[in-house]
Structure 1
Amino acid sequence: MSTAVVTTITERPVVRVPSAQPRLRITKRGRAVLTTLAAIPVVAGVMLVALNGGGATATNSSGADLEEVTVQAGQSLWSLAEDIAPGADPRDVISDILSVNQLETGSVQAGQRLMLPAEYSAE
């Protein structure tokens, strides 16, 4: 009979590394503080827009009274300027109309109301 050699394999213990913990842990109080700090600029911006939003009025720097006209269908600022001040350069009249009404472009629509200085009275 032969003798069998029995070898035992010893198992090495498994070493488990604890899972990595986050470096920064935010509590409820910390979240509240961060939320408040992030909201402050937003609230300040909304307040500034609300305070500065209204207040644009049409005025004339010379202090003259303003007259209102309604743009008719097919009428442009050029034709309006020729109608209200036939002896003046239409470019100057258009420039005055744009500045009094605080318009950025020269396009107008039928039914739009424009303020005119008294010096360009349609009468």
Structure 2
Amino acid sequence: MRLTVRGRRVLVVLALVIATAISVGIGAWIGTAGSSGSAGEVVTVTVAPGETLWTVAGAAAAPGDDVRDVIAEIAELNSLVGADIRAGQQLFVPAG
């Protein structure tokens, strides 16, 4: 199969359009990746003996907030893999 000059130009333009669409889509995805959806401030909290991630999140949660969402945000802010925290550990917590 042979393409004419016009056919090659159409193919090049099509490839550029697809590449642009992909790069814009990836850029938008990267721009939102890692964002928690809130533009609030973050404070540093030192974990007291006996505190759990649930109690820290409960104290930081604003009225009406789901504590599970705050836990997820704290985990993301601090790159926590699990829910294990220890006394004396400093955590970034959303300011409620």
What TM-score, normalized by structure 1, do the two folds share?
0.43
Greater share of residues in helix = 2
Q: Deviations over 1:76-96 (max 9, x none)?
A: 011111112152211110000
Higher relative contact order (CA 8 A, sep 6+): 2
Q: Separation in 2 of the partners of 1:86 and 1:75? A: 18
Q: Separation in 2 of the partners of 1:65 and 1:93? A: 13
Give 2:89's aligned residue: 112
Which runs of no fewer than 5 residues in structure 2 stay unpaired? 1-33
Percent identical among aligned pairs is 40
Q: Separation in 2 of the partners of 1:70 and 1:90? A: 18
Which runs of structure 1 show a deviation greater than 4 angstroms over 4 or more consecutive aligned residues?
none
The count of corresponding residues between Structure 1 and Structure 2 is: 60
What TM-score, normalized by structure 2, do the two folds share?
0.54
Q: Secondary structure at the match of 1:116?
A: strand
Give 1:75's aligned residue: 51
- The CA RMSD over aligned residues, in Å, is 1.9
**TM-aligned CA distance change 1:92 to 1:70, over 3 Å:** same
Which runs of no fewer than 5 residues in structure 1 stay unpaired? 1-59
Query: Looking at CA atoms only, which structure, 1 or 2, has the larger radius of gyration?
Result: 1
